[in-house]
Amino acid sequence: MGKSLKAGLQAGFHTTWTLGKIIFPVTLIVSLLQYTPILGWVAKLITPLMGIFGLSGEAAIPLVIGNFLNLYAGIGAILSLDLTVKEVFILALMLSFSHNLLIESSVAAKVGLKLWVILAVRIGLALISAFVVNLVWQGGGEMAQYGFVSSTEVTPNGWLEIIGIALQKAGLGVVQLALIVIPLMIAIQYLKDLGLLKVFTRWMAPVTRFLGMKENTSMTLVAGLTIGLAYGAGVMIQAVKEDNVSKKDLTLAFIFLVACHAVVEDTLIFIPLGIPVLPLLIIRLVVAVVLTITIATIWRRAEAAPRRKEATYEN
């Protein structure tokens, strides 16, 4: 048992260090940007495009903040605006697919995936889903009634306080990462040493096969679904090393997860916005499943094409 604890701690600290080197500087820079005109400039740039998605120009503000920072920041910005239920739902859907882009995409790149693929999938899903919902849904014109979340935030006094807040946020981000990843790695190590991980993998086998992946991607999928991309990346990195997860399966798992990660938490936090969250959850799940199966099928056919040609030449 002591051996399992030691191995789990080593894996946890190593993963925290690996991801912390990304999370700390990115969080620091983005937190500083929050107090500069830069985010406002970006919001102004995309304001003319908002009408395509059924949004008013000011809806660009929570979109930019949510993508540069996180869902909570995006929700805070929504609470400061007078928007219709339809607008809030569309914003929630877009931010579900595309939020915290800098950190989560950087972490995905650390796992071994191409950064442009992750960005293209996340931003593409956000834009397409918003366009389709705006086209299909004719209701939701009443003003949104927000619940119990407060949108107030303390304004720092001067750049010294701003830098202090940014350093605090960056440090807390790494601490939060450690508090999640280290116990998780220890638990996984115990499960592995007790042989329970193989049992769990067998249980997940029908799901992974249905999505076009091998059984050994099960831990990657579950980690991303439950605790998200940034924190789940620790488990993913470990899985790639120890479970021999192929580049193809890892890419498919990430494509599924960029559409549908931290699915419970990221859905429930939208409840105070007064929108129907069940359709939000269903859309994310359906999109993730359909997209992953489609790409897996195309990939499989592309791999099979050279073999068919060789067989034809031989005959």
Cα-based torsion angle of the residue sequence 160, 164, 167, 171 in order, rounded to the nearest 10 degrees: 170
C-alpha–C-alpha distance, residues 298 and 202, integer Å? 26
Q: What pTM, to 2 d.p., does this model score?
A: 0.77
Buried b (16+ CB within 10 A) or exposed e, 17-35: ebbbebbbebbbebbbbbb
Angstrom CA distances, 88 to 76, 138, 254, 280, 288, stand at 12, 14, 27, 11, 22
- Backbone angle region of 44, left / alpha / beta, with phi > 0 → left and psi within -120 to 50 → alpha: alpha
Nearest to 25 by CA among 140, 166, 135: 166
Q: What are phi and psi of 84, to 5 degrees?
A: -80, 165
C-alpha–C-alpha distance, residues 247 and 240, integer Å? 9
pLDDT tens digits for the chain (315 residues)?
Answer: 678 888 888 888 887 887 788 778 877 887 787 788 887 888 888 888 899 999 988 888 889 888 987 787 888 788 778 889 999 999 999 999 998 888 888 877 777 778 888 889 999 999 999 999 999 998 888 888 776 444 445 678 888 888 898 898 888 878 887 887 788 778 877 877 887 767 777 788 888 889 998 887 887 787 778 777 776 677 777 777 777 778 888 888 888 888 888 777 778 778 778 888 889 889 999 999 999 999 999 998 888 877 666 666 565
